[in-house]
Structure 1
Amino acid sequence: MAITSVGPVQYQVEKVRLSRDLSRGAVRKLLTDHAEYGGWELTRLRRYRDGTREVWIRRKIIKVASTL
């Protein structure tokens, strides 16, 4: 997990390595669930010759100012 900044917005970034045994539909379902329930968005997907996939996903870091 890393934190990057794009202008005034900060993102939490994760790199996930997926096995070659996962089908295309399973990868799509996994990424859809991450997006829908975790607030993640796909940044990059790389597929290697051996069939493994490397996926970069990110989500905004929302900092809440104290009202006390």
Structure 2
Amino acid sequence: MTSNEVVVDEDWEYRRLQLPPGVSRLSAALQLSIQAEFAGWELSNVRLYSDGTRRVWLRRKRTLAAAGLPGVIV
């Protein structure tokens, strides 16, 4: 699983991942479940390409700590 970019919106931050063609559907679901459980991400969009590559967008709600407010320990 490779992380390509993180995009920050007003209320959400998005992360794009690319899963290589050899990754099974079950393995992809497991990897995404781990991201959801431990990093707070949720599935936003999945695209499956003809070569077997999956491009996945994850999103999570921005918190006050993630916004970089002074006095908040991250």
TM-score interval for Structure 1 and Structure 2 normalised by the shorter chain: 0.7 to 0.9
Q: Within 5 A, what are the aligned runs for 1:7-18?
A: 10-18=11-19
Question: Is 2:5 the partner of 1:3?
Answer: no
RMSD: 1.6
- Moved beyond 3 Å, runs of 4+: none
Q: CA deviation at 1:12?
A: 1.1
- CA radius of gyration, larger in: 1
Aligned length: 63
Q: Does 1:23 align with 2:24?
A: yes
Which one has more relative contact order, counting CA pairs under 8 Å at least 6 apart? Answer: 1
> How far apart, in 1, do the equivalents of 2:58 and 2:15 lie?
5
| TM-score, structure 1 normalization | 0.83
Q: Percent identity?
A: 34
Query: Which whole-Å CA distance do the structure 2 matches of 1:32 and 1:50 have between them?
Result: 23
Unaligned runs of at least 5 residues, structure 2: 1-5
Stretches of structure 1 that go unaligned for 5 or more consecutive residues are none
